């Protein structure tokens, strides 16, 4: 059977591409290797699906450190506000939460997936699940179709590759598209985990004494060898049994990966300021004031609430301040030491969890070889890319799904136009 457009992959980018192509009244086939469509979408945002983000476009680009600037051009065609209007048109009301994050009012990711599936049905898109694609069929000049793993071949005038990256392969994203892209003449940049927890060999991590401790709105930095910060994020963070996690750490993770690569795999220093509105001097003043206000009180009680208790006790130990000592015992020197620990505690991290456990894949099909206004390959006629297979990666917070939906819409729309030429 012949199609105008084949879309490979039923994640957010592929679903959107198939819908956009279907809206052009084309004969469209969506091929998905899994039993279900939108498996990763259904678990995103903690199962609530962080569909998009309502921050202004400049801010969205800033939150996509992996080639976010490439999206300026696609955003002039289709952007986050279009996504919101699209879902509301499908009957999925969205609500805004902190940092511009948009979720379905129902808090159910499955509602988002179901709405996309109903729209595919309404538009008459053919959908085949449990149908893995083995390769793209192409001539020197253009795409002609796909070969399925079953050996069957299906012809099409245009093919949209929306098979995702390599993160969380249980959802179907197993990196199948990278060799296809290379065979079509594309460059695939190095792949690495992003938005991923960090590993540490520090004794206090190995002893698990801080496991489960969360620091709210801490300032977390990744340091260069010379001690200067490469990046700082002020968000929550978490100590785990293997290292560090939580939003601030996930955002820092790709910078750790890159710095380690630069330094031949050597461990990288992270800095934590649990009291970001203070520096070492103002924190010292605060500690002294609280200690001297009631010099008979045990210091750990006098300083209660400055930072979480487990963190305070740990840092007091680091600063060699006896837990039982009182304000009367406190020297300036020890108070200064503790102020330093609170505002710039340093620790080494020596890796990340693997790509399979990352939220997002770093690297992918080079954006230099894709037309930003159409998502068309610059190497092969009729070939389109969208979603996480591209070398685009954002922080969690709806930025990756936004990128997938926007590039998916544009790829599907342009593949449909191309197929009619
Ligand atoms: C736990 C988790 C939470 C996340 N939370 C957020 C969040 O809050 N905000 C955010 O912006 N991003 C989040 N992300 C990232 C976001 O979900 C992805 O970036 C996004 O799903 C990528 O969309 P995609 O369509 O490109 O690929 P995918 O969603 O990976 O979909 C690709 C599809 O292609 C199919 N496929 C693969 N190979 C083949 C083949 N050979 N033949 C046929 N089909 C194939 C797969 O089965 C899959 O269904 C999260 C990711 C995870 C893992």
Give 59-83 pLDDT, tens digit per residue.
999 999 999 999 999 999 999 999 9
Long-range CB contacts for residues 310-317, cutoff 8 Å, separation at least 24:
310/210, 310/213, 311/210, 311/213, 311/215, 311/274, 314/204, 314/209, 314/210, 315/341, 315/342, 315/345
Please check the confidence at residue 421 and state whether its pLDDT lies above 80: no
Return the pLDDT at 323: 86
β-bridge mates for residue 243, sequence order:
199
44 Cβ closer than 6 Å to some ligand 1 atom = yes
Which residue has a Cα nearest atom 35 of ligand 1?
A: 9
Distance, CA 12 to ligand 1 centroid (Å)?
A: 7
Return the pLDDT at 324: 87
d(CA 294, CA 367) in angstroms, rounded, equals: 62
31 Cβ closer than 6 Å to some ligand 1 atom = yes
387 Cβ closer than 6 Å to some ligand 1 atom = yes
Confidence of residue 416 (pLDDT cuts 50, 70, 90): very high
Kindly state the percentage of the chain with pLDDT values over 70.
100
Please check the confidence at residue 116 and state whether its pLDDT lies above 90: yes
Give 186-212 pLDDT, tens digit per residue.
999 999 999 999 999 999 999 999 999
Give 94-105 pLDDT, tens digit per residue.
999 999 999 999
Confidence of residue 265 (pLDDT cuts 50, 70, 90): very high
Which residue has a Cα nearest atom 19 of ligand 1?
A: 400
Please check the confidence at residue 1 and state whether its pLDDT lies above 80: no
Mean pLDDT of the chain: 97
CB-CB contact of 94 with 84 (8 Å): yes
Return the pLDDT at 114: 97
Please check the confidence at residue 31 and state whether its pLDDT lies above 90: yes
Distance, CA 40 to ligand 1 centroid (Å)?
A: 5
Distance, CA 323 to ligand 1 centroid (Å)?
A: 49
Please check the confidence at residue 308 and state whether its pLDDT lies above 90: yes
Confidence of residue 133 (pLDDT cuts 50, 70, 90): very high
Distance, CA 185 to ligand 1 centroid (Å)?
A: 24
Return the pLDDT at 375: 98
288 Cβ closer than 6 Å to some ligand 1 atom = no
Residues 6+ apart with CB under 8 A from 374: 384, 410, 411, 414
36 Cβ closer than 6 Å to some ligand 1 atom = no
Please check the confidence at residue 352 and state whether its pLDDT lies above 80: yes
Distance, CA 254 to ligand 1 centroid (Å)?
A: 19
Averaged over 270-293, what is the pLDDT? Answer: 97
């Amino acid at each position: 059977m012949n199609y105008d457009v084949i879309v490979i992959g039923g994640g957010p980018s592929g679903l959107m591409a198939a819908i956009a192509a279907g809206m052009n009244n084309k004969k469209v086939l969506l091929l998905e290797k899994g039993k279900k469509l939108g498996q990763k979408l259904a678990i995103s945002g903690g199962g609530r699906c962080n569909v998009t983000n309502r921050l202004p476009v400049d801010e969205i680009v800033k939150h996509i450190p992996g080639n976010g600037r490439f999206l300026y051009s696609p955003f002039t065609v289709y952007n986050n506000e279009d996504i919101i209007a699209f879902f509301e048109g499908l009957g999925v009301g969205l609500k805004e939460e902190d940092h511009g994050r948009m979720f379905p009012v129902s808090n159910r990711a499955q509602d988002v997936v179901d709405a996309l599936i109903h729209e595919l049905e309404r538009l008459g898109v053919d959908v085949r699940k449990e149908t893995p694609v083995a390769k793209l069929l192409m001539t020197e000049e253009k795409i002609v179709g796909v070969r399925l793993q079953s050996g069957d071949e299906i012809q099409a005038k245009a093919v949209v590759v929306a098979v995702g990256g390599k993160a969380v392969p249980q959802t179907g994203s197993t990196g199948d598209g990278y060799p296809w892209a290379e065979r079509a003449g594309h460059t695939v940049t190095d792949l690495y985990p992003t938005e991923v927890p960090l590993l540490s060999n520090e004794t206090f991590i190995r002893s698990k004494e801080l496991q489960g401790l969360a620091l709210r709105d801490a300032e977390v930095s990744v340091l260069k060898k010379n001690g200067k910060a490469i990046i700082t994020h002020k968000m929550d963070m978490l100590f785990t049994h293997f290292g560090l996690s939580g939003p601030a750490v996930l955002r820092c993770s790709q910078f750790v990966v890159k710095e380690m690569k630069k330094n031949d795999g050597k461990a990288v220093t992270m800095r934590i300021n649990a009291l970001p509105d203070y520096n070492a001097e103002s924190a010292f003043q605060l500690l002294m004031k609280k200690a001297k206000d009631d010099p008979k009180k045990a210091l750990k009680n006098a300083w209660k609430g400055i930072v979480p208790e487990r963190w305070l006790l740990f840092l007091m130990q680091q600063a060699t301040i006896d837990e039982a000592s009182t304000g009367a015992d406190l020297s300036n020197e020890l108070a200064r030491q503790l102020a330093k620990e609170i505002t710039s505690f340093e620790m080494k991290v020596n890796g990340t969890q693997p790509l399979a456990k990352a939220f997002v894949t770093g690297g992918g099909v080079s954006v230099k070889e894709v037309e930003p206004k159409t998502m068309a390959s610059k190497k092969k006629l009729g070939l389109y890319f969208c979603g996480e297979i591209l070398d685009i990666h954002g922080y969690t917070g709806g930025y990756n799904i936004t990128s997938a939906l926007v590039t998916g819409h544009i790829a599907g729309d342009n593949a449909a136009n191309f197929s009619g030429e």
